[in-house]
Amino acid sequence: MFRRVNLTAVLAASLVTALAMAGSALAAPTTPVLTAMPFYVYTDQQVSWTPSSLDSNGNPGLSAYEFTLLNLTAGGPKQVAYRPFTMAASTKLNALFPSVTTATQYALCVRAVEVTNSFQVLFSLRTCQVFHVVYKLDLAKIVNKYVEYNPNPGCIQCELAQVVTDDPVIYEKLKNAAVRDLAPITGARIDARGEVAIITG
């Protein structure tokens, strides 16, 4: 009777161990989580995520992150892109999807695709972010266009000289400061660099 009970216990323990090993072999990789993104982004928005953890028999060289981009504005077909698991968990939106366009709302999702050493393929859960791609203002280009259409906007700094000479308080302070030249102050001049010169005579 003792031997039969002992044999039953050994078989039960072996079964539990086998099930545990089978369960661990089929475990999915942990879910990568997309870092929060602003609702309005540019096409070169930085996209980053928390790295996923693979199983002990997962092969990093064969595994990858799968990105899915859905155009919510047009309701068009989804785009899919892959990034090797061994690369940094960060890239630009237009590096993943070069055809991303402005004035469009998207949903971006990521999941880990684990390939094991025995070539099993396992998937994690997905995490997603929704955002709107907007046109990126180029301030330098706008300023250059302004100068192009206004080649002679006048001397903005020169108007400051008029303010100086018209203000009696400022005029008196400048007049008292000019102790090296006894000639009366007749005005002030401001050059393009913003430097003030006292005019006497």
pLDDT at 19 over 80: no
Average pLDDT over every residue of 70-77:
90
Contact 165, 138 (CB under 8 A): no
Domains and CATH numbers, the chain: 27-136 (2.60.40.10), 140-200 (no CATH)
Of 14, 9, 24, the residue nearest 116 (C-alpha):
24
pLDDT of 155: 59
Average pLDDT over every residue of 76-92:
95
**pLDDT tens digits for 165-180?**
566 666 666 565 544 5
Backbone region of residue 49 per phi and psi (left: phi > 0; alpha: psi in -120 to 50; beta: other values)? beta
The 3-class secondary structure across 22-53, one letter per residue, is HHHHCCCCCCCCECCCCCEECCCCEEEECCCC
Strands 40-41 and 127-133 turn out to be parallel
Other beta carbons within 10 Å of 109: 18
Contact 163, 190 (CB under 8 A): no
pLDDT of 126: 97
Element (H, E) at 146: helix 139-149
CA gap 144, 152 in Å, rounded:
13
pLDDT of 143: 61
CB proximity list for 30: less than 8 A, separation 6 or greater: 52, 53, 112, 124
Predicted TM-score (pTM) of the model is: 0.59
In terms of C-beta density within 10 A (0-12 exposed, 13-18 middle, 19 or more buried), how is residue 31 classed? middle
Average pLDDT over every residue of 87-106:
96
Average pLDDT over every residue of 4-16:
44
Identify which of 23-37, 95-109, 181-195 has the greatest average pLDDT: 95-109
pLDDT of 172: 64
